[in-house]
């Protein structure tokens, strides 16, 4: 049986100045940012910026949403200042509530790849949203 190696394992086994691992890829600490907002008839198209801007090189590991039923037809996109649905597109914010927390894992997007991607956003889509929204962003940067 053959043994093959992942990209980072290959770099670890063959270290050189040309294949230095990005901070946080091996042995990095997982960090989390959380934010909460109570929406009051926030119209479709409303953009909510959440958390603090992330440092270039941070790697997104997952996004967790925990919310009240925000209203019939309300969907949410989670993205950033460059792509409003980079992480979640069309999350049903009425059908998924606090008892159905959503965790998006394995995103592995590296902040600093595109201009404006350091500011995380939640965009209300399709209908006005009313109720509490909680979000947690899991990432590594060191």
* Residue 124, beta-bridge partner list: 76
Q: What is the structure's pLDDT at 92?
A: 92
Q: Are 138 and 19 in contact (CB under 8 A)?
A: no
Give the rounded percent of residues in the chain with a pLDDT score beyond 70: 95
CB-side neighbour CA atoms (13 Å) of 99: 2
Domain 28-140 part of CATH 1.10.3110: no
Residue range 55-90, pLDDT digits in tens: 999 999 989 999 999 999 999 999 999 999 999 999
Q: What are phi and psi of 13, to 5 degrees?
A: -75, -25
Structural domain spans, the chain: 28-140
Helix (H) or strand (E) holding 92: strand 88-92
Asked if residue 27 has pLDDT above 90, the reply is no
> What's the mean pLDDT in 3-23?
87
Nearest to 32 by CA among 141, 136, 135: 136
Provide the whole-model pTM: 0.86
């Amino acid at each position: 049986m053959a043994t093959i190696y992942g990209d980072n394992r290959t770099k670890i086994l063959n270290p050189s100045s040309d294949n230095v691992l990005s901070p946080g890829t091996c042995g990095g600490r997982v960090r989390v940012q959380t934010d909460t907002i109570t929406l009051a008839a926030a119209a479709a198209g409303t953009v909510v910026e959440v958390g603090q801007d992330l440092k270039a090189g941070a790697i997104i590991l997952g996004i967790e949403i925990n919310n009240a039923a925000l209203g019939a037809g309300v969907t949410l996109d989670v993205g950033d200042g460059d792509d409003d649905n980079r992480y979640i597109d069309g999350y049903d914010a009425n059908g998924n509530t606090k008892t159905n927390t959503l965790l998006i894992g394995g995103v592995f997007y590296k902040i600093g790849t595109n201009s404006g991607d350091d500011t995380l956003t939640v965009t209300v889509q399709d209908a006005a949203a009313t109720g509490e929204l909680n979000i947690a962003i899991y990432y590594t940067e060191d």
